Copies of this chain bind each other. A is one copy, B any other.
Amino acid sequence: MTTLAALVFPGFQTLDFFGPMEMLGDPAYGIEIVTVAQNRDLVPSRHGQRIAVDATLADTTDYDLLLIPGGDTALTAAKDPELLQWVRDVSAHADRVMAVCTGTILLGMTGLLDGRRATTNKLDFLETVPLAPKVNWVRQARWVEDGKFFTSSGVSAGIDMALAALASLYGHDKAAKTAYGCEYNWNTDADADPFAKLAGLV
């Protein structure tokens, strides 16, 4: 059984997390999703829905896949040394490490992306990328794949990135079938990013 650690922290961005859950949770892959948090309290999303926790950081770092959502509070979560170390420890063994929106900055602050290509959300790009200055931040990309690391642009881009990660593991056709099942027009071009221009980054 393939296991996915789906990290949450108070104020995580709702669609950053649940868009990828819909894709990665397609029963066609048989991935066991484990919601992981700093402690066992219910975790409120940015929009107030409270999520139950399956495991804490202390329980294990043994997962096959990792998803890190964003949200303004990802930068608060990134101040927790135990959380950053957990991300490093999980990533050392995981087959794929995925981060969405500001979650990519949190991932960058672990040092794991140093010298690698990555992207993040476009509206806060210039304010946030200095927090992980050794990353080769890509200004125009819906998502970026570099080795096992998949990072996406803002919020809804996490859906496209999650499908790309599934495609890398299970093949394009199977990922396209997942998108079809959700009646989702998958943006399959990683470089097609109209928001970079709208945000004045290119």
B51 close to A49 (CB less than 8 A): yes
B18 close to A49 (CB less than 8 A): yes
With A15-B19, A122-B183, A198-B180 as known contacts, state yes or no: A52 contacts B42, CB within 8 Å.
Answer: yes
User: Which 6 A-B residue pairings sit nearest by Cβ, starting from the closest?
Assistant: A25-B47, A18-B18, A154-B183, A15-B22, A50-B52, A155-B182
Q: How many A residues touch B, CB cutoff 8 Å?
A: 40
Instruction: Give A181's nearest chain B residue, CB to CB.
Output: B123
Partner of A25, one of B48, B50, B153, B154: B48
* Residues of the B chain whose Cβ atoms lie less than 8 Å from the Cβ of A155: 22, 181-184
Interface: A151 (CB within 8 A): no
The contact sample of 23 A-B pairs, CB cut-off 8 A, is: A14-B21, A14-B25, A15-B18, A15-B21, A17-B18, A18-B21, A18-B49, A21-B47, A22-B47, A22-B155, A49-B51, A50-B52, A51-B51, A52-B52, A121-B183, A154-B181, A154-B183, A155-B181, A155-B183, A155-B184, A156-B182, A180-B195, A180-B198
| Contact code string A146-180 (vs B, CB < 8 Å = 1, else 0) | 00000001111101000000000000000000001
With A18-B14, A22-B155, A183-B155 as known contacts, state yes or no: A50 contacts B49, CB within 8 Å.
Answer: no
Question: How many angstroms between the C-alpha atoms of A157 and B181 in the bound complex?
Answer: 11
A6: min CB distance to chain B, Å: 8
* Residues of the B chain whose Cβ atoms lie less than 8 Å from the Cβ of A180: 195, 198
Question: How many angstroms between the C-alpha atoms of A35 and B45 in the bound complex?
Answer: 13
Interface: A33 (CB within 8 A): yes
A99: min CB distance to chain B, Å: 15
